[in-house]
Amino acid sequence: MKPLAQRLFERLERAGVDCTFGIPGDFALPLYAAQNKYGMRTVVCTHEPNAVFAAIAYARIKGLGIVLTTYGVGGLNMINPMAMAYAEFTPVLVISGAPEIGGRTGEIQVHHLVKDYESQRRVFEEVTVATAVLDNSDTAAAEIERIIQTVVRQKRPGYLEIPRDMTNIPIADPGEAASPPTEPEFNEETLAEALGEIRRLISEAKKPVLYVGVGVRRQNLVEQVTKLAEAWGMAVVSSVMGKGTFPETHSNFVGLFMGEMGDAAAQKAVQESDCVLSVGVINSDVNTGFETGKIPHRKLIVVAEQETLVFHHRYENLPMGAFITALAEAAPAQQKPFVPAVPTPEPAATPKTQGPLRIEGVIRVLKGLDPSQYSFLADVGDAWFIGLELQTDFFIASGYYGTMGFAVPGGLGAGIAAPERLPLVIVGDGAFQMTGAEIAVMKGLGLKAIVLVLNNATYKMLEALDGPRDYYNIQNWDYVGFARALGCEGERVTTETGLQDAIAKGKKAKTSYLIEAIVDKEDYPPILKRFRDFFAAKKAQA
């Protein structure tokens, strides 16, 4: 028998976790005390949404992220970022303290409580794959196992609620339940049949294309899909959410596929292909460039988490991991050569010394950096569209759910999870105003990031969709003054060489370095420009 919290933190350590993100609050105080006692590192953020964002970035790098919070005021302030984790397949576990089981008499209402004691759990059920309330010492160990295993296996978030008087209750060894997760069972005949058909289709295709989504990274299948691409000489395109999954410097890599919005070469490769093998791609409106990149069923094979679709028929209960591994092993020994398409012209590599700073200049400077030294994090809008232009295998963003405010707290999580890289955060002014304060937490931990704030004083993305409106203007801040007030450094830049120099200074700075890049309101990243034109044309038609 060991105290519940001890078993929990020991189990999290075995899962490869070395810290939790959160804010202490009264119902979680014994959990925080236990965490401290059992040697798990405590990272206290400024605001609950930020804690989850940090844990998401951490989880994408380490395979599991943990958030520790109090009841109500803490937990219910995490629903939006948890929805991001759910929508974008990220294994984050929220552990919430809760009122004592022993005090739930109904006579007196407990603070931080909403409708009833089940409300918070019901809310979390909408944004997680597994929830549990540890209100029983006999089942607690098995419940902890169930939640952690489900989260890690399904790569989606979970929720564990611990009433305050259960925190240190002795619980038995979970025994069998604690054995490492076994792969879900599947029918070997289904696998063999699917393998046979798909192997034949790819071999016979003249221009097979491999379309890589984020699921490939989450399921740790990068090596296998790389082998597949090489063995069959397949061109590789990436979905926007899958950006950075397939090595972008690989000779088979063509570009980012997002229909008419993405790389022209990628669109051409998919359109001309006679067989597209899509692996781990989320079939969303943004991913398909609002249907301008819709791929006809007659040439499409879709390998999803638990099933595979070929044209119009479906192999059910076929786990992606097992299938892709088998397909890679069944690849021909003799590699087919890959004939690259005409490469997209690169923007000139020499930065301009004269202002004003253009978005294309920002992209040029960022492309000039050595990508092996940075974790790139992009917020939504402009920042994301700029990030999509970079050639990097280390790119973290909210590419499907699209929530603002992810990137700065994400930089905190990435800085802890991948300390060998410097987080480089690209963020618009609107998103920065939501969560930018997290640079102060980095400072407190002796961490740093380069934070590039694109200041165009607008919700640019909305203007692109809807045209100019007074209420899309964002109140201007002195962002560098903000950084200094939080104990960090920074400077404002208005030219391309200025930006280049500022990044160099940021690399040497002792704290986070905020670069406020003044960009013109009328200036658009290339992909966003295509979005704008697409929606303008649609509007004109309507």
Site for a second copy in 457-486 (CB under 8 A): 459, 461-462, 465-466, 469-472, 475-482, 484-486
- CB 55 → a second copy: shortest distance, Å? 16
Q: Which of 11, 15, 63, 83 binds a second copy (CB under 8 A)?
A: 83
Q: CA separation (Å) from 205 to 208, 223, 264, 265, 324?
A: 6, 22, 22, 19, 18
Q: Does the footprint of a second copy cover residue 379 (CB under 8 A)?
A: no
Cβ at position 399, least distance to a second copy in Å: 9
> Cα 359 from chain centroid?
24
d(CA 280, CA 314): 15
C-alpha 517/C-alpha 360 separation (Å) is: 13
Quick check: 95 and 124 in contact, CB under 8 A? no
Query: Helix or strand or coil: residue 535?
Result: helix
- Is residue 506 involved in binding a second copy (CB under 8 A)? no
Per-residue interface string for the shown chain with a second copy, residues 203-222, x marking contact by CB under 8 A: --------------------
**Residue 13, SS3 per DSSP:** helix
Q: Which is nearer to a second copy, 224 or 403 (CB)?
A: 403
Other CB atoms within a 10 A radius of the CB of residue 99 amount to 19
For the chain, what is the radius of gyration of the CA atoms? 24
Kindly state the smallest distance separating residue 484's Cβ from a second copy, in Å.
6
Q: According to CB under 8 A, which residues from 254 to 293 bind a second copy?
A: 282-286, 288, 291
Interactions with a second copy, residue window 16-45 (CB under 8 A): 24-26, 29, 32-33, 36, 42, 44
Take residue 160 and report the two structure tokens written for it.
Answer: 């564990």
SS (H, E, C) 135-202: CCCCCHHHHHHHHHHHHHHHCCCEEEEEEHHHCCCEECCCHHHHCCCCCCCCCHHHHHHHHHHHHHHH
Nearest distance in Å: CB 343, a second copy = 30
Contacts of a second copy in 142-161 (CB under 8 A)? none
Residue with the two structure tokens 């879900």: 184
- Which residues ranging from 399 to 418 are in contact with a second copy (CB under 8 A)? 400-405
Site string for a second copy, 87-106 (x = CB under 8 A): x-------------------
For a second copy, the closer CB: 348 or 542:
542
Q: For residue 310, which of 318, 302, 319, 322 has the smallest C-alpha distance?
A: 302
When binding is defined by CB under 8 A, the residue of 31, 160, 434, 519 that contacts a second copy is: 434
Sequence-distant (≥ 6) Cβ neighbours of residue 29 within 8 angstroms? 97, 164
Residue type, 15: A
Q: Select 456 or 500, whichever has its Cβ closest to a second copy.
A: 456
86 binds a second copy (CB under 8 A): yes
82 or 265: CB nearest a second copy: 82
Residue 515 found at the interface with a second copy (CB under 8 A)? no
Residues 54-73 that bind a second copy (CB under 8 A): 72-73
Work out how close the CB of 141 gets to a second copy at its nearest, in angstroms, rounded to a whole number.
26
User: Is the Cα torsion angle 168, 170, 175, 176 positive or negative in sign?
Assistant: negative
Contacts of 361 (CB under 8 A, 6+ apart): 351, 352, 495, 496, 499
Among 181, 356, 444, 468, binds a second copy (CB under 8 A): 444
Among 253-261, 299-307, 384-392, 439-447, which window interacts with a second copy (CB under 8 A)? 439-447
DSSP label of 65: E
Per-residue binder mask for a second copy (CB under 8 A), 105-134, x = binder: --xxxxxxxxx---xx-xx--xx-------
Cβ-based nearer residue to a second copy, 57 or 87: 87
- Least distance from a second copy to the Cβ atom of residue 480, Å: 8
The site map against a second copy for 309-338 (x = CB under 8 A) is: ------------------------------
